[in-house]
A and B are shown apart, each in its own frame.
Chain A
Amino acid sequence: SQKIEQNSEALNIQEGKTATLTCNYTNYSPAYLQWYRQDPGRGPVFLLLIRENEKEKRKERLKVTFDTTLKQSLFHITASQPADSATYLCALWSGYALNFGKGTSLLVTP
């Protein structure tokens, strides 16, 4: 069966450090992968989309890598800030639906 796995344990880091979140998938052949941010009680917000032929994509302090051989995407936030504290979700199309991982909670402390 198709699976999207994200680290269920919360990631606690200090302000200014780089946060790295992992998304692993099985039984997908994705053309692209998406990352979303979700704050408590709110809907997810789209952050980045990376295509299978792109190894890396950047947007301001965000960087995403996509390794289709390892079936893994890494999501980096550089110079992290307390305002980056949220749950981050990765998502893949199954062919008919956008499937989400359960997300990793990030807490950035001053």
Chain B
Amino acid sequence: KAGVTQTPRYLIKTRGQQVTLSCSPISGHRSVSWYQQTPGQGLQFLFEYFSETQRNKGNFPGRFSGRQFSNSRSEMNVSTLELGDSALYLCASSPLQYNEQFFGPGTRLTVL
């Protein structure tokens, strides 16, 4: 089976812009979670989608949003980018919520 894919791999944006990141989970996996990873805070949970519904959300401002499509592919959007949003954004899929997570390679976002 193909692994989790994320596009783009690298992004450079300026403050105030918005960005959309994409994630394709492993075939058959219906749960997709998003994480932000920074050197200072480590891996932090953003949100989780299952069958097109957001089931859980982490402690992030409303500028961070996401959605899941009927084919389980997911997107996350960050509006009004801030310098502090610079991070590695990781997507992970799982057949069920409590199973091990299969991570993609991540999207490295740099906000200037």
Interfacial residues, chain A to chain B (CB-CB below 8 A) = 34, 36, 41-46, 49, 89, 93, 96-103
CB contact between A43 and one of B45, B48, B105 (< 8 Å): that residue: B105
Please tell me if the beta carbons of A98 and B33 are within 8 angstroms of each other in the complex. Answer: yes
- Take A89-B43, A93-B98, A100-B43 as given contacts and tell me if A43 and B56 are in contact as well, using a CB distance cutoff of 8 Å: no
Interfacial residues, chain B to chain A (CB-CB below 8 A) = 4, 33, 35, 42-43, 45, 48, 55-56, 58, 88, 90, 92, 98, 100-106, 108
Q: Which residues of A contact B58 (CB under 8 A)?
A: 97
- Take A97-B56, A98-B45, A103-B42 as given contacts and tell me if A44 and B103 are in contact as well, using a CB distance cutoff of 8 Å: yes
Interface centre among A36, A41, A96, A101 (most CB of B within 10 A): A96
Please tell me if the beta carbons of B42 and A101 are within 8 angstroms of each other in the complex. Answer: yes
Please tell me if the beta carbons of A43 and B104 are within 8 angstroms of each other in the complex. Answer: yes
Q: Which residues of B contact A43 (CB under 8 A)?
A: 4, 90, 92, 103-106
Please tell me if the beta carbons of A99 and B100 are within 8 angstroms of each other in the complex. Answer: no
CB contact between B102 and one of A41, A46, A96, A99 (< 8 Å): that residue: A46
Residue of A whose beta carbon sits closest to that of B106: A43
A63–B4 Cα distance when bound, in Å, is: 27
Please tell me if the beta carbons of A97 and B103 are within 8 angstroms of each other in the complex. Answer: no
Q: Which residues of A contact B33 (CB under 8 A)?
A: 97-98
A49–B101 Cα distance when bound, in Å, is: 11
Q: Which residues of A contact B100 (CB under 8 A)?
A: 34, 46, 49
A99–B42 Cα distance when bound, in Å, is: 10
